[in-house]
Amino acid sequence: MGAGGVDERDGRPWEHAVTRSEQERFWSFVVKGPDPDDCWFWTGAISDDGYGRFWVKRGTGQLAVRPQRYAYELATGEPLPSSTLLLHSCDIPICVHASADLEVSHVAPGTHRENMLDRAQRGRYRNRATLRLGDLPRQVRVQRSLDLRTVIVEHGWEPELISAALLGVELTHPRLF
Ligand SMILES: [Zn+2]
């Protein structure tokens, strides 16, 4: 894939109609936690930056879009300018829990960074440790994202396994299984 038309930075699904089947395909890659505050994890492709990639057909080519941006644009119904940075309040790169209500959303434009840091410090999120994946070295972050995806795909929503993956605990450790 990737023959022509690939622009990850400017991947904006709204430049063309987003079809229902494309949205269904998108959500088929997402596993949502049971509580309203839980993360929604992307289980599709993960790139070498530790973030997800969702491939969509646009024109005669394919475009790799970032799942959290795609989810945010679906939630708000508006395109995000390519210059607008989306930040995760939960600090988990493959989370796509987006909402137009920023008190609920785990991703928001960088202009809301202060609010998001406040929320994180209030400790709203119960399903994750205090580590900051975004601050980890790139290779470590990528591995955590891949491990987390493996856990979700193979075991579904299992909080202990999710925590282990986020903390970088060796997943083949016999005590975990
Ligand atoms: Zn999240």
If you measure from the C-alpha of residue 95 to the centroid of ligand 1, how many angstroms do you get, rounded to a whole number? 5
Residue 99 vs residue 103, higher pLDDT = 99
In the chain, what percentage of residues exceed pLDDT 90? 47
If you measure from the C-alpha of residue 33 to the centroid of ligand 1, how many angstroms do you get, rounded to a whole number? 10
Domain range list for the chain:
13-176
Reported as a single tens digit per residue, the pLDDT across 42-81 is 999 999 999 999 999 888 888 899 999 999 999 998 888 8
Q: What is residue 85's predicted lDDT score, i.e. its pLDDT?
A: 87
Q: Compute the distance between CA of residue 154 and CA of residue 171 in angstroms, rounded to an integer.
A: 12
Q: What is residue 137's predicted lDDT score, i.e. its pLDDT?
A: 83
In this structure, are residues 32 and 88 in contact, taking their beta carbons and an 8 Å threshold?
Answer: no
If you measure from the C-alpha of residue 147 to the centroid of ligand 1, how many angstroms do you get, rounded to a whole number? 16
Least confident among 2-11, 33-42, 86-95, 100-109: 2-11
If you measure from the C-alpha of residue 91 to the centroid of ligand 1, how many angstroms do you get, rounded to a whole number? 7
Reported as a single tens digit per residue, the pLDDT across 114-156 is 666 666 665 555 444 455 666 678 888 899 999 999 999 999 9
If you measure from the C-alpha of residue 78 to the centroid of ligand 1, how many angstroms do you get, rounded to a whole number? 21
Q: Compute the distance between CA of residue 136 and CA of residue 91 in angstroms, rounded to an integer.
A: 11
Q: Compute the distance between CA of residue 97 and CA of residue 36 in angstroms, rounded to an integer.
A: 10
If you measure from the C-alpha of residue 128 to the centroid of ligand 1, how many angstroms do you get, rounded to a whole number? 9
User: What's the average model confidence in pLDDT over 102-121?
Assistant: 77
Q: Compute the distance between CA of residue 159 and CA of residue 98 in angstroms, rounded to an integer.
A: 20
Cβ-Cβ contacts under 8 Å for 142 (sequence gap 6 or more): 46, 48, 49, 50
Q: What is the 3-state secondary structure (H, E, C) of 70-139?
A: HHHHHHHCCCCCCCCCEEECCCCCCECCCCCCCCCCCEEEHHHHHHHHHHHHHCCCCCCCCCCHHHCCHH
